[in-house]
Structure 1
Amino acid sequence: MSNNMPKVKTKQTNKQNNRSQETLVAGSAWMSGSSIVSRLLGALYIIPWMALMGDNTTASAANALMNIGYTPYALFLNIATAGVPSSISKQVSYYNSIGEYSTGKKIYKKGLQVMGLTGIISAILMYVLAPLLASASPAASIAEGTQVIRSLTPALLIIPMMSVTRGYIQGHNTMAPSAISQVLEQFVRVGFMILSVFLIRIILGSSVVNAVSLSTFGAFIGALASSLYLGYVVWSRKNEFQHEVVYKEKQQDIKTNVILISIVKTAIPFVFIGSGITLSQLIDQYTYGPVMSRITTWTPGEIQVFYGVAAANAHKLIMIVLSLGSAMAVTSVPLMSSLVAEKNLQGVGKQFSNSIQLLFLVLFPSSLGMLVLASPLYTLFYEFNVFGTEMTRVSSIMTLFLGLYTVLGSNLLAANMIRSAIKALLIGLLVKLIVQIPLFAIFGTSGMIYANMIGFGLSSYLMMRAMYAKTYYDYKKLGKRLMAIGALSTIMTCTVWGTKSLLSLFINPVSRSGSVLIIIIATIVGISVYGYLILKTRLADHVTGNSAEKIRSRLRIQ
């Protein structure tokens, strides 16, 4: 520990750190729960959706076509929101912590105006550039790719403003409304997708591309429902926010143009870091086709299908687990910002370490569990496929690197370590780009996944090193905790593997019904074993605080 850091914690600092830890756990529980439900809906819909689309070959091509539309859409969405939601959350939390509640309201109103404009600009750009984006993608038809990409432009008009409202609410360290809105958005979107493909394919007997286009338009319908709910939340809590303004201790007159500049300056780093995974996916999307056409004898249609399996099918499954990292990243931003406002450097380091520990406490066993259950998982959502199973297994390990990058990037930005975060991402993407083609040649499709692990692994290491240089967090304690989590996760993984192997002797593992039974039973066994181990060893207490003690008491675990 550096001499620059205080050696003795005051009681006040201890209370602040404990409060931050409890807030992080509670907020992460809300956001993680909603993210898991949302991702499950986003993955489960594929079963009826592909069944209604047609035979397996047709359905796989449709799924790949939809993913080709969603990848550039995700980038334009990041540009449209420009990192403003996280910026809003960070700034509202900052000003609230120093008693400037009215300034937080000004920031919210100005953010809505800015996002309305950037949403329009981004929607126009994506619509105009759709043919160019489709021609460079693995789409078998440029016209079909263009139609699908353009069907997503309406969502860009509304989602940015919706995200600002989420950021404003999160800035008050209130995660429940945002969590509920995410589930509502996904539920409405999925319902619309299934209804639309049933109408287009079954009732009208129209083309696949029309069914996919109307399905992707569901992003707008879901966002509209979520926006209406969030608007009601802000309206219903206006008296609560007004109470904050009345009883504040101090107020400064901050001009509108100053607020606008502050939002933009804070937002730019968030959009870049938030686009990191999307940028890596774009590298995959625009290198996969050209490389595979040279090193294989696959037809354009086969390239589209194989790309869909790796980048769409397997990715949907790992996003269920990866959503945990995203949820914790969202929760940690206002907490870290508050600690920075209080100039609690020691608290920043502790919060950083807690975020990593909490992430791995959940993400590590989840990733290993998905690795073991890759075959029944892929069979359940799609159908038994050796290539799909292989892609899911490799991708499940990749979630550790992507999840860590997501949390670390948000933490560094919230701690105003902007240059370190951007530099780490740029180096990681550059290394990925360099090793991508050689890894394609060696490992085939898996090469782009291995390249992601190398790139984001390097970015994460650089971010952790940068934070240590500023806060001197206790990396030895962090390392011991992560090793303990890894050891208990390994025991759980062996148990899940044994359970799956035993069940496969009596249950057909390549059928959907058999896969469901294997997944349910093995998951229950894995959660029970891991939950008991982290409670029994008191590992959960160190990471989650009083929450684990309460659970252990109820379960009567000594």
Structure 2
Amino acid sequence: MNDNNEQIKKDLEETSSKEKMLKGSAWMTAGSIFSRILGAIYIIPWATWFGVNYLQANALFTKGYTVYALFLMLSTAGIPSAVGKQVAHYNSLNEYGIGRRLFKRSLGVMMFLGIISAMILWFIAPLISQGDAAVIPVYRSLAVTLLLIPVMSLTRGFFQGYFDMAPFAISQLVEQVARIVYMLAATYLITQVLHGSYQSAVVQSTFAAFIGAVGGLLVLLWHYWRKRPTMNYLLAHSNNKLEVSDKRLIKEILYQSIPFIIIGSTTTLYNLFDQFSFPTIMSFVTDYSTKEINALYALFAGNANKLIMITISVAAAMADTAIPLLSQAVTKNDNEEVSAALLDSVELFFFVMLPCSFGMAAVSRPLYVLFYPYDYTGIFVLAFSSYIALALGLFMVLAALLQGIYENTIAIKFAVIGMIVKVIIQFPLTAFLHVYGPLAATGIGMTVSNVLIFRYLYFKYNLNINKLQKNTNMMMLFSLFMFIVVLVISFALGKVTNTYSKFQSTIVLIIGAGIGGYIYAFLSLKARLADDILGARANFLRRILRIK
């Protein structure tokens, strides 16, 4: 037993905040990216099996998930992220017992919220269907998932508070795999074997979220059981001097969760506003049929959104990692560490997201054709959405940073201002730009929030942005150079390949993405930019790529 405790003690040796952030971001990024990639790859057979009904099916699917996402935020009530934040806070004080008790008390709250949210969505489904009877069973198939998601999310938040992102990432991946396997099997059976309606196939596709939740929750329970020795060791060696009542713990969590609800719901509210306003605006300014408007809605809210979420998931992963680290630094009253962590988070975001966004825009044609049936408008919508992803991702990171330093009121204020801007400019932009209008309005609204948040952080913590500005300029330069090269390659290969062929588009995509990725990595490593961002890991990459 003593040997086991010694090993646990060795494994728990403290590392720097930047190392924790990089390690956590690596796990979260890997899990999020693989999960998002799987969530995009399934589209290839899924779209094929729906045939001519694909855009209508995808519009129905997207409408269901947009409303479900809002209920998901309400059912979790921001508590998982708040628990992660507070567990990190108490752990930094060596009060592991309080963090453990906080998790157990929160379980009952989450179960209650899950049941209530599931019942509400089930019963109001007809009221929010906008007269479309087909969407009612879609809403109800997603309602049952709300029974499990809150508990699963809470457990992920608990591990996050220990800076242990592996269970979070692995459960996320298993959840996605289980969901997709059921989704594809059910869709194939209904559309190809039984020749049923596309509406029935969509209902089973959304019910797949419940199957995925079961898989993800089982993985988390296994990790919790496996890590009990380490957690029990920490519990046994806690100070146990701080007395916090259960009532105060729940009060703290509910107080901390409110900003997470509002901030976490921001992108969902943007999407929900698009869902209910886009058809109305387009019906008013055009003579398009309902079917044509649904098809356009599917292009930007469904097709493009699924692909840009692959890159945005990187930002979400960074945000999840940053919150407990900043909470720990604030608890220690270390303003220097807070300032450094803020700049490191923003710098890491731009290092990853700039090449991802520009690269996706450059290969938008082969990328779109790989996943969806060829659509001229859809390709340009995807390219435009790739740039908007920068604003969306940056908002996720900056809002998370504000929450991590307990500036919750400011985070809410700036998020609301951005949303108001979005609402004001939605009609004129949609009337003028049609399918691009909601995307442009989202980009502008998010940018307003981003500018206000960064300005606040700059003056509040006296951030030294000289290094950030220098490195960001280099990242932008390298990304633009990569973008031009990849765009030329994609255009040239497009002239000698069949633009409608998924196989040939895959070849073009692999060549373009491969060359683009190498160019950015080479320039970043050669200029020693990667060393500032990744530290010692840059040398490892330099050896692999044989760059001196």
Task: Give the match for residue 24 of structure 2.
Answer: 27
Distance, in Å, in 2 between the alignment partners of 1:500 and 1:393 is 13
CA distance in 2, matches of 1:127, 1:422: 29
The residue aligned with 2:334 is: 344
Give 1:540's aligned amino acid.
Answer: A
The normalised TM-score by structure 1 is: 0.94
Q: Partner of 1:217: helix, strand, or coil?
A: helix
The separation in 2 between residues aligned to 1:543 and 1:314, in whole angstroms, is: 30
**Aligned partners of 2:64 and 2:135 also within 8 Å:** yes
Pair 1:520 & 2:517 matched: no
* 1:372 has 2:365 as partner: no
Match of 1:415 in 2: 405
Greater shift after overlay, 421-430 or 498-507? 498-507
Picking from 314, 322, 327, the partner of 2:312 is 322
For residues 459-509 of structure 1, give each alpha carbon's deviation from its aligned partner in whole angstroms, at most 9, with x where no partner exists: 011111111222111123222221111011111111211221232233223
Distance 1:477 1:419 in 2: 29
Q: Quick one: distance in 1 between partners of 2:335 and 2:246?
A: 30
Q: 1:173 matched to which residue of 2?
A: 163
Give the whole-Å Cα distance in 2 for the aligned partners of 1:440 and 1:338: 44
Distance apart, 1:191 and its partner CA: 0.5
For 1:120, the aligned partner's letter is I
Match of 2:270 in 1: 280
Residue 102 (structure 1) aligns with:
97
Cα pair 1:49 1:194 within 8 Å, conserved: yes
Matches within 5 A, 1:226-237: 226-237=216-227
Instruction: State the number of aligned residues.
Output: 536
One-letter amino acid of the counterpart of residue 171, structure 2? S
1:77 and 2:77 equivalent? no
- More moved, 218-227 vs 232-241: 232-241
TM-score (norm 2): 0.96
Structure 1 residue 407: Cα displacement: 0.5
Q: Distance in 2 between matches of 1:225 and 1:267?
A: 26
- Aligned partners of 1:288 and 1:505: how far apart in 2? 35
Determine whether 1:209 maps to 2:199.
Answer: yes
Decide which of 95, 107, 127 is 1:112's aligned counterpart: 107
**In the alignment, what sits opposite 1:127?**
122
Show the counterpart of 1:50.
47
Give 1:9's aligned residue.
none
* Matches of 2:65 and 2:370, distance apart in 1: 23
Range that drifts further, 32-41 or 199-208: 199-208
TM-fit CA distance, 1:554 = 4.5
The residue correspondences of 1:196-345 to structure 2 (distance < 5 A) are 196-345=186-335
Separation in structure 2 between the aligned mates of residue 542 and residue 288 of structure 1, nearest angstrom? 44
Query: Does the CA contact (< 8 Å) of 1:21 and 1:544 recur in 2?
Result: no
CA distance in 2, matches of 1:333, 1:312: 29
Q: Using the alignment, how far apart are the partners of 2:416 and 2:72 within structure 1?
A: 20
1:8-49 residue CA offsets vs partner (Å, 9 max, x unmatched): xxxxxxxx9981111111111111111111111111111111
Secondary structure at the aligned position of 1:402 is classed as helix
Q: Is the 8 A contact 1:332 1:411 kept in 2?
A: yes
> What is the CA deviation profile of residues 129-164 of structure 1, one whole-angstrom value per residue up to 9, with x for unaligned ones?
2122211xxxxx611011111110011110011000
In the alignment, the residues of structure 1 paired with residue 544 and residue 370 of structure 2 have an alpha-carbon distance, to the nearest angstrom, of: 35
State the AA in 1 paired with 2:47: M
Identify the range of structure 1 (67-76 vs 493-502) with the bigger mean alpha-carbon deviation: 493-502
* Change in CA separation of 1:456 and 1:508 when aligned onto 2, cut-off 3 Å: same
- Partners of 1:273 and 1:409 within 8 A in 2: yes
CA distance in 2, matches of 1:421, 1:216: 32
Q: Which amino acid aligns with 1:506?
A: V
Distance of 2:479 and 2:333 partners within structure 1: 36
Post-superposition Cα deviations, 1:303-347, rounded to whole Å, max 9, x if no partner, equal 111111110011001111111000100111111111111111111
CA shift, 1:547, in A, is: 1.2
Per-residue CA deviation, residues 346-405 of structure 1 (Å, 9 max, x unaligned), is 111111111111111111111001111111111110121111011101100000000000
CA distance in 2, matches of 1:334, 1:517: 41
Structure 1 partner of 2:4 = none
Larger displacement relative to structure 2 (197-206 or 318-327): 197-206
Taking the aligned partners of 1:499 and 1:85, their CA distance within structure 2 comes to 45
Question: 2:97 touches 2:240 (CA, 8 Å); kept in 1?
Answer: no
Counterpart residue type for residue 49 of structure 1: W
8 Å Cα contact 1:115-1:161 kept in structure 2: yes
Distance 1:132 1:97 in 2: 47
Contact 1:509/1:518 (8 A) holds in 2:
no
Structure 1, 460-469 or 256-265: larger mean CA deviation: 460-469
Deviation at 1:203, TM superposition (A): 2.3
Contact kept in structure 2, 1:17 and 1:350, CA below 8 Å: no
RMSD: 1.4
Separation in 1, partners of 2:352, 2:428: 33
Q: Closer, same or farther in 2 for the Cα pair 1:246/1:400, shift >3 Å?
A: same
Q: CA deviation at 1:253?
A: 2.6
The more displaced of 490-499 and 456-465 is: 490-499
Q: What residue identity is the alignment partner of 1:161?
A: V
Asked if 1:436 corresponds to 2:426, the answer is yes
The correspondence for 2:470, drawn from 480, 483, 505, is 480
Equivalent pair of 1:339/1:347 in contact (CA under 8 Å): yes
Alignment-mate amino acid for residue 110 of structure 2: M
Contact 1:64 1:307 survives alignment (8 Å): yes
Report the secondary structure of 1:105's partner residue.
helix
Aligned to 1:399: 389
Give the counterpart letter for 2:403 in structure 1: L
Residues 1:390 and 1:556: Cα distance change in structure 2 (over 3 Å): closer
Q: Deviations over 1:383-440 (max 9, x none)?
A: 2111101110110000000000000111100100111111100100000100110101
Q: CA deviation at 1:204?
A: 2.1
In the other structure, the counterpart of 2:449 is 459
Partner of 2:537: 547
